[in-house]
Amino acid sequence: MSYIFRNSVLKTVAVISATVFFQSELAAEPYAFISNQLDNNVSVIDTKTQKVVKNIVVTGKPVGVAANNHKSQVYVSTPEGNGFAVLDGKLLKQTGIVTTSNGALGIAVDKTGQRVFVADWYENRISIFDTDTFKLIKAIVVGKSPSGMVVGPENQWLYVANRISNSISLINLDSLVTLRTVDVGTHPFGLAVDAKGKRLYTANVESDDVTVVEIGNLKKLATYTVPVQSRPYAVSLALDDTRLFVTNQDDSSVSVIDTQTLKEIAVIEVGEKPEGIDTHPDDRHVYVANWMDGTVSVIDSKSLKVVNTIAVGDGSRAFGQFFTQ
C-alpha cells in the first residue's frame, strides 16, 4: 500500500513540476512589437507560435519601438502624433500618450528602465523623459536630424546617429551632456553596440556601408568602413556579437558581417524594402521588418537562412529594439 501511495505522490509531483516548468517556459517567451506605419497600428508577434496575437491601434504613423522590460512597457514613436505612445507589454494595449514634437523618430530606453530617449528629427535634439511620471527631464541638442539611438551596456553612454550631419553623438548619461562627436559615413541611421561596450556599428544609408567605431578607448577612437549592399538602414548583432546583420532597403536583402574580420560574408534575400531589425533574446534568430511586403522575415543566424515569414501590417518598420523578455 505504501509503495502504491509513494508512486502516486511521485507522479503527482512530477506532473506539477512539469506543469510549472511548462508555464515558466511559456512565460519566458518574448513578444516582438512591430510598428506598421501605414496601418497606424502595432502587430504583436508571439515568438513561440510565430503568429500575430494582436494588433494594437497606435495613431500618428508609428515608427520607432523601444521595449522597457523593467516595467513591462513598450514605447512607440509617432512622428505625426507629436510624441510617443505607451503600451502595456503584458496586457497588450495602449495606456498613454506623451507629447514631444512632430519630429519624434528614434526611441530608446536606458538599462534601468527609468528614462526614455526620443530623437527629434526636426528640432535636432534628444528629449529625455522619466518613465514613472513621463515628465521631461532634459532636452539635449545634437547633430542634424537625429535618428537611431542605442544605450551602452554599462548605462553610461547614449549613442545618437545624426543623419544629415554624418556623425554620431556620444552623450554621457550621468551629466546628460554631449561629450564627443564622431564622423562616420554618409547619412547614418540605425545603430548597434556590442555587449562589452567596445564597438559601435552604424548603417550609413547613402554611402552603402557600415562604420565600425572602436569606443573602448574614448581618448583614441578608431573607425573602420565595411561595404555592404544598397541603402543600409539598421543593424543588429547576434551569436555572441560575432555576426552583424544589416538591412539593405533597395536590395531587399540583409548583409551579414563577420565582426572578427570585418568582412561581408553573406547576403540573405528577405522581403521588399527591409528596414527595422532586432535579435531575439535567444541570440540566434534575427527578425526583419519588410516595409513594402508588410511582413517580418525570421533569419537563423547559424544557417544564415530565412526560416519563417510572418504577415503583419502595411508599412512595417519596427525601428529599434522591439523584443520584450
Q: Residue 301: name the closest of 252, 246, 262 by CA.
A: 246
Task: Return the C-alpha torsion angle 71, 76, 81, 86, nearest 10.
Answer: -20
Task: Return the C-alpha torsion angle 198, 69, 296, 290, nearest 10.
Answer: -60
**Quick one: pLDDT at residue 143?**
97
Asked if residues 273 and 231 have their Cβ atoms less than 8 Å apart, the reply is no
Structure letter (DSSP) for residue 228: -
pTM over 0.85: yes
Who's near 168: CB < 8 A, 6+ residues apart? Answer: 159, 160, 161, 162, 181, 182, 184, 188, 191, 200, 202, 213
Who's near 8: CB < 8 A, 6+ residues apart? Answer: none
Asked if residues 104 and 78 have their Cβ atoms less than 8 Å apart, the reply is yes
C-alpha cell belonging to residue 248: 539593405
Per-residue pLDDT of the chain (325 residues; tens, 9 = 90+): 333 333 444 444 444 444 443 333 334 479 999 999 999 999 999 999 999 999 999 999 999 999 999 999 999 999 999 999 999 999 999 999 999 988 899 999 999 999 999 999 999 999 999 999 999 999 999 999 999 999 999 999 999 999 999 999 999 999 999 999 999 999 999 999 999 999 999 999 999 999 999 998 877 889 999 999 999 999 999 999 999 999 999 999 999 999 999 999 999 999 999 999 999 999 999 999 999 999 999 999 999 999 999 999 999 999 999 999 8
Cβ count within 10 A of residue 289: 36
Q: What is the pLDDT of residues 190-237, one digit of tens each?
A: 999 999 999 999 999 999 999 999 998 877 889 999 999 999 999 999
Q: Residue 316: name the closest of 264, 269, 277, 267 by CA.
A: 277
**Quick one: pLDDT at residue 133?**
97
**Quick one: pLDDT at residue 101?**
81
Question: The cell 509503495 sits on which residue?
Answer: 3
DSSP 4-52: HHHHHHHHHHHHHHHHHHHHHHHHHPPEEEEEETTTTEEEEEETTTTEE
Structure letter (DSSP) for residue 3: H
In the chain the domains, ranked by start, together with CATH numbers, are 32-321 (2.130.10.10)
71: exposed, middle or buried (C-beta count within 10 Å: 0-12, 13-18, 19+)?
middle
d(CA 12, CA 26): 21
Q: Residue 202: name the closest of 216, 187, 217 by CA.
A: 187
Asked if residues 42 and 107 have their Cβ atoms less than 8 Å apart, the reply is no
How do beta strands 64-68 and 319-321 pair? parallel
Asked if residues 101 and 114 have their Cβ atoms less than 8 Å apart, the reply is no
**Quick one: pLDDT at residue 2?**
31
3-class SS of residue 288:
strand
**Quick one: pLDDT at residue 219?**
79
Question: What number of CA atoms fall less than 13 Å from residue 256's CA on the CB side?
Answer: 19
